[in-house]
Amino acid sequence: MSIEVGSTVEGVVTGITNFGAFIELDGGETGLVHISEVADTYVKDVSNYLKMKEKIKVKVISIDDDGKIGLSIKQLDNKKKKFKTVPKKSFEDRLSDFMKESEQRQQDLRRSLEKRSGQSR
């Protein structure tokens, strides 16, 4: 199996470091998933996301002249996320929520000020 930039391949986690994870690909070649390519969120510890001998799918993002293979998990996940639709509130709904919350805060502030000054309605 030839490994090409842009292809999705399977591999096994063979090493976890503070800067990423080494993945053994089919054919015996090894690539690196840099810590910045593990997930869309901040990754402090790669071992929170990957385990030794875990079989995973990765995307090949680079192959250097000296044969180093750069891999990504998050770019593979991004491809899947493009097709998901996330329901969002319309502008009018968000504006309505804001106005209700704002009115509630103003009422709370008025009550607080009335209590401080000794006034009551």
Domain 8-81: top CATH class = mainly beta
Q: Is residue 119 very low, low, confident or very high in pLDDT (cuts 50, 70, 90)?
A: low
103: its two tokens: 């009115």
Closest CA to 24 of 47, 1, 53: 53
pLDDT tens-place string over residues 29-48: 999 999 999 998 899 999 99
Q: What ranges do the domains of the chain cover?
A: 8-81, 86-116
DSSP string, 46-67: GGGT--TT-EEEEEEEEE-TT-
Q: What is the DSSP letter of 17?
A: E
